[in-house]
Amino acid sequence: KTEAVVTSAVPYPYIIPLRRTALVMIDFQRDFMEGGGFGASLGNNVELLRACLPAAAALLAACRAAGLAVVHTLEAHTADLGDLHISKFSRGNLPPGMRIGDVLTPEMGRVLIRDEPGNGIVPEVAPIEGELALFKPGKDAFYATPLEGWLRERGITHLLFAGVTTEVCVQTSMRAANDRGFECCLVTDATESYFPEFKAATIKMVTAQGGIVGWTATTGEIAAALK
Ligand code: C5J
C-alpha cells in the first residue's frame, strides 16, 4: 500500500503517505531520561519520562517495519559552547557544577554537550544505520539544524512526533514543522513530560480549533494502520 489511514486520530482521520512520512524522535537522551542525569539533578522525576519508553520503542519498530524515514534529535551544544546563547546558559539560576557545559558526574560527563556520555540516546530507542541523528542547540528541531533540507530532499510532507518533553522540545518542534507546511501528528503515549498537566494541555491545544497544530493518535492506532 502507499498510505495508511489512522481513522481514530484526533481531531479527524490522519493519512500517512508511507514514502513521504518521517518519524521524529525528540531528545530521548540520558540527560533527561536517567537518574543521575541533568533532568534528575534539577529535581525532576525521570520515571515520569521513562513511562513512554515501551510505546516509543514499539512506535519506532512499527515505523521501521513500514519503511518510514526516521530522525532522532539530541539537545546538545558544541564543546566550546559556541552555539549556546548566553540567555540559555544563564537561565534558571543553576549553581556552579550544574550549568550547561559543566561536568555533572564522571559517568554523565558535561551537561548537554555533544558526544558526552549523558548526551547519548537511551538504548531502548537508539538509532540504527540509515537514520538521521542530529544535534539541536535549541528547543525547536529546525533551529540551526539541517533538518528541513534533509526532509525536503526526501520529499517528506508528514511527520510523526514522539519524545521528551512534550510541552518543550516536542511541542516547539511540532509547531515549527506545522509553520513549514508539514502535516504533523503527535503520538500521545510515545511522549512524556515531567509535568503531567503540561502534557495533557499540550495534547488538547495542538488538536484544538480543528487541529490548529495537527493531530494526535496513539502508538497502537498508528501501528495498526501501518500493518
Ligand atoms: C527541555 C526538551 N525540556 N528536550 N528539553 O529542556 O524538552
- Count helices and strands (H / E) in the chain: 9, 10
The set of residues, in sequence order, having a beta carbon less than 8 Å from that of 107 and lying 6+ positions away, is 36, 117, 118
Q: How far is the CA of 35 from the centre of ligand 1 (A)?
A: 16
pLDDT tens for 137-194 read: 999 999 999 999 999 999 999 999 999 999 999 999 999 999 999 999 999 999 999 9
Place of cell 537514520: 131
CB 166 within 8 A of CB 199: yes
pLDDT tens for 2-42 read: 999 999 999 999 999 999 999 999 999 999 999 999 999 99
- pTM given for the model: 0.98
User: Of 31, 63, 136, 189, which is the active-site residue?
Assistant: 136
Residue 75: the pLDDT is 98
CB 163 within 8 A of CB 24: yes
Strand-strand pairing, 69-75 and 158-164: unpaired
215, β-bridge pairs: 185
Whether 27 lines ligand 1, by a CB cut-off of 6 Å, is yes
Give CA–CA dist 68/73, Å, rounded. 16
Q: Is 188 helix (H, G, I), strand (E, B) or coil?
A: strand
Output DSSP code: residue 10. Answer: B
**95 pLDDT tier (thresholds 50, 70, 90):** confident
Type of residue at 157: T
Q: How far is the CA of 139 from the centre of ligand 1 (A)?
A: 6
Give CA–CA dist 210/190, Å, rounded. 22
What would the grid cell of residue 125 be?
530507542
The fraction of the chain above a pLDDT of 90, given in percent, is: 96
**Ligand 1 atom nearest residue 27's Cα:** 4
What would the grid cell of residue 178 be?
506545522
Q: Is the pLDDT of residue 96 over 90?
A: no
The ipTM value here is 0.95
* Ligand 1, atom 5: closest residue by C-alpha: 169
The set of residues, in sequence order, having a beta carbon less than 8 Å from that of 4 and lying 6+ positions away, is 15, 16, 18, 66, 222, 225, 226
Q: Among this protein's residues, is 136 annotated catalytic?
A: yes
